[in-house]
Amino acid sequence: MRPLRAVALLLLAAAAAAATATPWAGSGQEPGSISKDDFPGDFSFGASTSAYQWEGAAAEDGRTPSVWDTFAHAHAHAGDDSVNGDVAADGYHKYKEDIKLMKETGLDSYRFSISWSRLIPKGRGEVNPKGVGYYNNLINELLDHGIQPHATIFQYDLPQILEDEYGGWLNPQIIDDFTAYADVCFREFGDRVTNWTTLNEPNALVSVGYDAGIGPPGRCSKPFGFADCSCGDSVNEPYVVAHNCLLAHSSAVSLYRRKYQVLSFH
């Protein structure tokens, strides 16, 4: 059995075991009667979104396509715009309304991801001031409502320009480019964001994008790939991508500790 598939089976087994556990082992209350008061005072209730699923505004204010834009449009049915993130939940325009609802729901935290192609449209180099402005407004609005922002630097939406230029996560060049992108995030938002995630579930990026081929960039090979991929190598590429993800994570964390943590933003 291939290692990646063995891990997947173990996770499924763990999930099945958890499903049989007692759903509520608290103070004898019925599940429906649980309230925030039943949790420790420092317990944080939150919600989460990713940029491509939530923001929309795919071609507004300088944002360029990501690999998710390309993949979603390539696999859409003719005339069906409901399967892409061009509009999504329209968080780019409706974030104030959404944050108001978060507050009314009683959330303490909100985890969002930053769109690399909105912040740095060419993947490297010039920073988009409108992208910086949007995330500044989002973060400030959250704080004004007493909600702590948790920022994820990357959630699968690599700028398409980097995928086209050198193959994205398959190329070690991604380590330097990701670190430079993370540097911009830390510099622009680190005075207010104290909770960071470098890469969201890199195991999913590896397995979905480079083994099964059912997500961007849609690379796989038979007999392992589930999709009809036109290119890829399911035997080797997942491990190359995983390796580069680990190095990119390590590089960004080292940068933060060396350059930003000492500034006592916390």
Q: Is the pLDDT of residue 31 over 80?
A: no
Least reliable range by pLDDT among 185-189, 218-222, 238-242, 260-264: 260-264
**Helix ranges (DSSP H) in the chain:** 3-19, 51-54, 67-74, 91-105, 116-119, 129-144, 160-166, 173-189, 202-206, 237-255
Q: Is the pLDDT of residue 173 over 90?
A: yes
Token reading at 266: 């916390």
Neighbouring C-beta atoms of residue 224, cutoff 10 Å: 17
Q: Is the pLDDT of residue 139 over 70?
A: yes
Token reading at 218: 């849609």
23 vs 187, more confident: 187
Q: What per-residue confidence (pLDDT) applies to 22? A: 45
In this structure, the strands spanning 195-199 and 148-154 are: parallel
The Cα-based distances of 149 to 36, 77, 89, 182, 233 in angstroms read: 20, 36, 19, 16, 38
Token reading at 222: 């038979």
Q: Is the pLDDT of residue 85 over 80?
A: yes
Query: SS3 of 235, please?
Result: coil
**pLDDT tier, 225 (very low <50, low <70, confident <90, very high otherwise):** confident
Q: Is the pLDDT of residue 14 over 50?
A: no
Confirm if 103 and 250 have CB atoms less than 8 A apart.
no
Distance CA 262, CA 266 (A): 9
Token reading at 26: 């608290």
Adjacent-strand bridge partners of 66: 159
Q: Is the pLDDT of residue 17 over 70?
A: no
Neighbouring C-beta atoms of residue 49, cutoff 10 Å: 18
The single residue listed with the structure tokens 């964390």 is 253
Q: What is the mean pLDDT of residues 200-212?
A: 98
Residue 212 is classified by DSSP as: I
Confirm if 5 and 11 have CB atoms less than 8 A apart.
no
Domain ranges of the chain: 43-199
Token reading at 57: 């505004």
Q: What percent of the chain has pLDDT over 70?
A: 85
In this structure, the strands spanning 195-199 and 109-113 are: unpaired
Q: Is the pLDDT of residue 212 over 80?
A: yes
- Angle, CA of 118, 54 and 109, to the nearest 5°: 100
For the segment 141-165, what is each residue's pLDDT rounded down to a tens digit?
999 999 999 999 999 999 999 999 9
Query: Between 3.20.20.70, 3.20.20.80, 3.90.1150.10, 3.10.580.10, what CATH number should domain 43-199 receive?
Result: 3.20.20.80
**pLDDT tier, 29 (very low <50, low <70, confident <90, very high otherwise):** low
Confirm if 138 and 112 have CB atoms less than 8 A apart.
yes
